[in-house]
Amino acid sequence: MPDRLFSRRDFSRAALQSFAVAIASPHLQKHPENRHAVPAPEGSIHLNFNENNYGPSPKAAAALDACTHIASRYPFSSYEEVAGIIARVHGVKRDNVILGCGSTEILRVSDAAFLGPGKILVIADPTFEAVFEYAGVDHAETVRVPLTTDHRHDLPRMAAACTSKTGVVYVCNPNNPTATIVTRDEFADFVTRVPASTLILVDEAYFDFADDPRYSSAIEFISKYPNVVVARTFSKIYGLAGMRLGFALGAQPTIAVLRECLDQDNANAAVLSAAVASLSDTDYIAACREKFISTRRWLCNELTKDGRSFADSQANFLMIDVGGDVSPVIEKFRERKILVGRRFPSMPHWMRVTIGKQSEMDAFLAALREIVPAPANNSS
């Protein structure tokens, strides 16, 4: 990594970062998926934020119930325990791991460390927008690269867009909101084409839901490419979205730079205790994964029967073409107390829906067939 990045380890830089975080709040509150914008109708089915509707592992729930006795103590040892377990699970050293307040803190500190005035962020369009929002706070420019015709990252164009001024290139894999993937071979070629001075930030929040054999984690690349960092979260398959815990894996020098930008004491005792329990409950996580994949497969089959267009999903959500502006469709679902994802400006005719429990998806499909009738020649 470039020496310039390591020269930011002074007090003034830390002060500026703190100031940036402080002034960021009003800006970030404008994010179109602000969870507090409109209260959900009572009794709603939540299929809008890609959460795990099955909830956390019973072991994690028990750990949360039992955590009151540690509430008065700082969770330093628990922090190290979780980081150590993650390192062992992924076959890396403790120095290759940092924890974040959700994976969004990992995205924020990546921008804070590698972007700034005169630097450039390269992203797909559309993709998860937090990195873009934080880049704006850091006064960096953003280059958006449209997705391919099959709604996937155009990695050759993204690599070509990277220059010596590119601080971060962001790859969400599987991508949010399209649920499509970058294959292992595509990424292997991509990483050789991106400048070594550019951080390749791979967001694998939805890693656990992919079953395409061509897909694999970018973790295998961090030993050879020190500019690759992989972000993960406990918000999705582990069902701990409300507790806020994520982590990153990368080469030790790169992780050290990111560590300096983290909030101090950024994980609480309750979520760390739940994380330890979650990581040990592999049977529950495997069963959860199978339910998601089975229900996703069922929904795709039903949509195919209807003759509807949808993106190939490798996540716990799906994008469906509703044939016109999605905004009134979203509102009609809300009237039925079914919450689906927001409108994405670059895909205004597409609706994102989270894969929930089978009963929830039955209700969703019935509502979809009422609100957006299937093409006449495919109606069942």
Q: How many CB atoms lie within 10 A of CB 153?
A: 26
Return phi, psi of residue 191, to 5°.
-65, -25
Does residue 295 share a domain with residue 157? no
- Residue closest to 14 by CA, chosen among 134, 109, 142: 109
- Please tell me the total count of domains within the chain: 2
Tokens of 80: 């190290």
Do residues 174 and 206 make contact, with C-beta atoms less than 8 angstroms apart? Answer: yes
d(CA 363, CA 47): 11
pLDDT value for 130:
97
Does residue 248 share a domain with residue 338? no
Does residue 357 share a domain with residue 294? yes
Structure-model confidence comparison of residues 8 and 357, the more confident one = 357
d(CA 83, CA 77): 10
Which residue is listed with tokens 């996580």? 285
Does residue 318 share a domain with residue 205? no
Output the DSSP codes for 63-129. HHHTGGGGTTS--HHHHHHHHHHHHHHTT--GGGEEEESSHHHHHHHHHHHH--TT-EEEEEESS-S
Structure-model confidence comparison of residues 24 and 71, the more confident one = 71
On whether residue 37 sits in a domain, the answer given is: no
- Percentage of the chain lying above the pLDDT 70 cut: 89
Does residue 225 share a domain with residue 82? yes
CATH number of 299's domain: 3.90.1150.10
Does residue 315 share a domain with residue 209? no
Does residue 98 share a domain with residue 74? yes
**Least confident among 4-13, 73-82, 104-113, 220-229:** 4-13
Model confidence at 17, pLDDT cuts 50, 70, 90, reads very low
Is the confidence at residue 198, as pLDDT, over 70? yes
Host domain of residue 205: 58-280
pLDDT value for 378:
59
Does residue 290 share a domain with residue 179? no
Does residue 185 share a domain with residue 268? yes
On whether residue 25 sits in a domain, the answer given is: no
On whether residue 184 sits in a domain, the answer given is: yes
Is the confidence at residue 167, as pLDDT, over 80? yes
- Residue closest to 124 by CA, chosen among 174, 69, 86, 64: 174
Is the confidence at residue 80, as pLDDT, over 60? yes
Which residue is listed with tokens 């930030």? 201
Q: If phi over 0 gives left and psi between -120 and 50 gives alpha, with beta otherwise, what is residue 323?
A: left
Q: How many CB atoms lie within 10 A of CB 257?
A: 21
Is the confidence at residue 29, as pLDDT, over 60? no
On whether residue 99 sits in a domain, the answer given is: yes
Do residues 355 and 302 make contact, with C-beta atoms less than 8 angstroms apart? Answer: no
Spatial neighbors of 255 by CB under 8 A, at least 6 apart, are: 95, 96, 97, 98, 229, 248, 249
Q: Provide the mean pLDDT of the chain.
A: 91
Structure-model confidence comparison of residues 44 and 18, the more confident one = 44
On whether residue 176 sits in a domain, the answer given is: yes
Does residue 184 share a domain with residue 330? no
pLDDT in tens, 293-325: 999 999 999 999 999 999 999 999 999 999 999
Is the confidence at residue 23, as pLDDT, over 60? no
CATH number of 245's domain: 3.40.640.10
**Least confident among 167-171, 209-213, 264-268, 369-373:** 264-268
- Percentage of the chain lying above the pLDDT 90 cut: 85
On whether residue 1 sits in a domain, the answer given is: no
Does residue 210 share a domain with residue 69? yes
Q: How many CB atoms lie within 10 A of CB 320?
A: 24
Output the DSSP codes for 206-239. TGGG---TT---GGGGTTT-TTEEEEEESSSTT-
Tell me what the mean pLDDT of segment 335-346 comes to.
97
